[in-house]
A and B are shown apart, each in its own frame.
Chain A
């Protein structure tokens, strides 16, 4: 500081008043409001607008709860999770011995085609499924020799409410019609009909319905279970993950190949997948509202930057209207998403909001360039917001990077703000 040369003020010219530096008010040109007051009011406005966003969030949360209740009601009437165990040869329960309650087949091959469909009640809906299951396999012939009675019960444990149709059990060349009990399908086979010299093949098929999940017990010594379906969001059982699986937009397929070294039920587990019952539109709207504050702040800054660089004051009332348009986006999104897909709703609501604000800014400042610039800024923000809604794992990283870029852009923009 001390090395700087002293500033020399030239003496005033004779007959002229001394020169004074021009007054530089700390306010945008043409505005009677200082920058500080304007920023404080913008902050207050943001807080008030966030109350509106909170109200929409509460509305979405409330509708989500109602939707879950209605979905459960629909599901209760259609059928809940489907568990299939069998077929196996049932043994009369004997409490005095340690015999197992059934004799499982040596090999079991199950193919299931699970088709999901939506059931609607008003604007609410629930995802349910119908399943076509074909089962093939064979028992050991020696297993039939231990039965002393004339006939033996073959059983499949499944909730009969889930069963819509059955085809007869085929053992060898003979067919047997299934009967229903409280918790299973069963049929009796005369021991005399069974060929005890070789393996005893069987096959049957069942049509079932349910919701929330579809599971099959891998009870045989060697199990090959294949499940295909059109659900796009299956969550496979964690105890036994499939050996091969594909999940895509058109559906999924999964295959389990399980071999038990020790027979019996103690080592058997259900394999299958859970499915989403309700729809996730409300969760997506709630997640979208989390980005409302940053979108409002960035939009306000863009408008403020435009106001300052164009030297055209914009009243706070106009800021308020722009903020209301930004909040109304979420209300439109919520309303539209109840009648169409979330993506289409987002697109329509975003286009409406961007078009409104763009036209407003264009007409307000009589500048097509400003309108296009605001349109670009809003399009980028809503585009990034949608991307963050679609990616789940990388949302935090992506959002942080986006904030960094937004901060850099804001810093760069603030360097351009100069008052004359």
Chain B
């Protein structure tokens, strides 16, 4: 008897209209904290890979496949790997929160790979052509690749424009610093200060609304 009553109840429950469920908030402060640590972690890993590319540039210069000047420029550019990876991925995190389009960890890793591959491509191309031309071509390739990837993930032109814009500004600043000589450290530090101030300004718009982080416009 009891089993019959239970079966009837189950049937009634199955036939009952399903109530809308409240989704668990994704963009919580805990998520942002873990995301920050994740981005910094993979930035460190890619920086180590970039230092390997730096060593490769030196060995290619020793084999006279790469000019001494180009080798120095490639080596100096790899020094900015951590900054460019961390800034780009953290910007993407803010864009993800702003547009509510989830980007998973694998996609973050792939974008990091593209940013790291920039230096290897730069080294390879600098062997065959002047450095600044190689730099322009590789920048266009990297920005194009990441822009297209972000378009595929987010399907929002504004998100793509923001990502591409941030990358172009970063690569532009690095190119300037490479040719700046002894003033590079000071100008680089001041540029980072300005970027940090802009990032702080945007995070001021980051509010917790209904337990979820939201960028207020």
Contacts and interface: CB of A to CB of B under 8 A. Distances in A.
- Majority-rule SS of A interface residues: helix
A172 B66 CA distance: 71
Contacts of B166: none
Contact of B213 (A55, A315, A321, A356): A315
B40 to A, nearest CB: 5
A313 B208 contact: yes
B32 A316 contact: yes
B203 interface: yes
A363 B204 contact: yes
A123 B203 contact: no
B203 A335 contact: no
A233 interface: no
B199 A321 contact: yes
Nearest to B197: A356
Interface in B64-112: 82, 90, 93
A66 to B, nearest CB: 10
A318 B196 contact: no
A33 B193 contact: no
A328 interface: yes
Interface stretch (A37-45, A211-219, A378-386): A37-45
A325 B196 contact: yes
A316 B196 contact: no
Contacts of B181: 122
A32 B213 CA distance: 11
Contacts of B90: 317
B8 interface: no
Contacts of A318: 200, 203, 206
Interface stretch (B52-60, B126-134, B184-192): B184-192
A41 B196 contact: no
A248 to B, nearest CB: 32
Q: Please tell me the size bucket of the interface on B.
A: 35 or more
Nearest to A38: B33
A41 B37 contact: yes
B32 A328 contact: no
A82 interface: no
A328 B191 CA distance: 11
Nearest to A124: B182
B216 interface: no
Given A32-B211, A315-B29, A364-B204, A338 B37 contact: no
Interface string B108-138: 0000000000000000000000000000000
A332 interface: yes
Contact of B182 (A37, A313, A320, A338): A338
A30 interface: yes
B196 A356 contact: yes
Given A328-B196, A360-B204, A320 B36 contact: yes
A321 B200 contact: yes
Contacts of B193: 328, 332, 352, 356
Contact of B33 (A30, A41, A352): A41
Contacts of B41: 48
A315 B37 contact: no
Nearest to B185: A335
Contacts, number: 101
Interface in A308-331: 313, 315-318, 320-321, 324-325, 328, 331
B49 to A, nearest CB: 16
Given A32-B28, A317-B33, A48 B44 contact: yes
Contacts of A336: 186, 189
B165 to A, nearest CB: 20
B18 interface: no
B27 to A, nearest CB: 10
B217 interface: no
A240 interface: no
A392 B199 CA distance: 38
Contacts of A55: 82
Contacts of A356: 193, 196-197, 200
B216 to A, nearest CB: 13
A51 interface: yes
Contacts of B35: 317
A283 interface: no
Contacts of B197: 356
Contacts of A41: 33-34, 37
Nearest to B204: A363
Interface in B155-206: 181-182, 185-190, 192-193, 196-197, 199-200, 203-204, 206
Contacts of B82: 52, 55
Nearest to A324: B196
Contact of B29 (A51, A123, A316): A316
Given A37-B30, A59-B185, 14 more contacts: A30-B208, A32-B28, A37-B33, A51-B44, A123-B182, A316-B32, A317-B35, A324-B196, A328-B192, A332-B190, A334-B185, A335-B187, A338-B185, A356-B196
20 contacts: A37-B33, A48-B40, A48-B41, A48-B44, A55-B82, A315-B203, A317-B36, A320-B36, A321-B203, A331-B185, A331-B188, A332-B186, A332-B190, A332-B193, A335-B185, A336-B186, A338-B182, A339-B186, A360-B204, A364-B204
9 nearest interchain CB pairs? A316-B33, A335-B186, A335-B185, A331-B189, A335-B189, A123-B182, A33-B30, A32-B28, A332-B189
